[in-house]
Structure 1
Amino acid sequence: MFAIGVRVPQMFCRADNHGDGSYTLWLYDTGVTSWATADYEPGRRAAYEVVQSGPRRLWDDLEAWEQQGKPGFESFELAVNADGEQRIHLGEESWAV
């Protein structure tokens, strides 16, 4: 979850388990201006049905993390400059903390 939290800050997720092995994953931002949902049904689909709305494309951000090979916690570096600015680095990308 650390890697996802860095890549998609201020995002929260919730999973609704439907009791039959299927579930709905909800992603939303803290401002509740963007959201995405994916439905999973075991054995019925090869891909998830995804719907997203709002200015942030939350699901697209998660897919970008996956395309990078799902880097784990150990792949990130934290840098602090003399002014106290903190940034998290992953290869050529970086994010302010």
Structure 2
Amino acid sequence: MIAAGERWPDGSLRPALEDLLGAGALVSDLYAQGAGPMSIEAAAAKAAYEGTADLTRAIAACASGRQLAATGFVEDVAIATEEDVCTVVPIRDGDGAFAPG
């Protein structure tokens, strides 16, 4: 699990809340299914996700959410924070393309 972040316009690293919470959501689900042990980094991401009462509001208020809203993509924030709505997982093939898994 890697919460990678992005770059600010000056090239410096900008930690991305959405990456941390997304990783935390996956870790939380995997842990609930019996996976483990988890690293301290995974535990921190899990705690951040589980401690966020309003995921959509948190993502909308972070730097990426504000950037999306400013460029006319407010709906994308809500879509990005939906949970357990997909029935397939994309799988990357040998050519770098994604297909339903």
Higher RCO (C-alpha under 8 Å, 6+ residues apart): 1
Query: When the two structures are superposed, what TM-score results if normalisation uses the length of structure 1?
Result: 0.27
More strand by share: 1
Query: When the two structures are superposed, what TM-score results if normalisation uses the length of structure 2?
Result: 0.26
More helix by share: 2
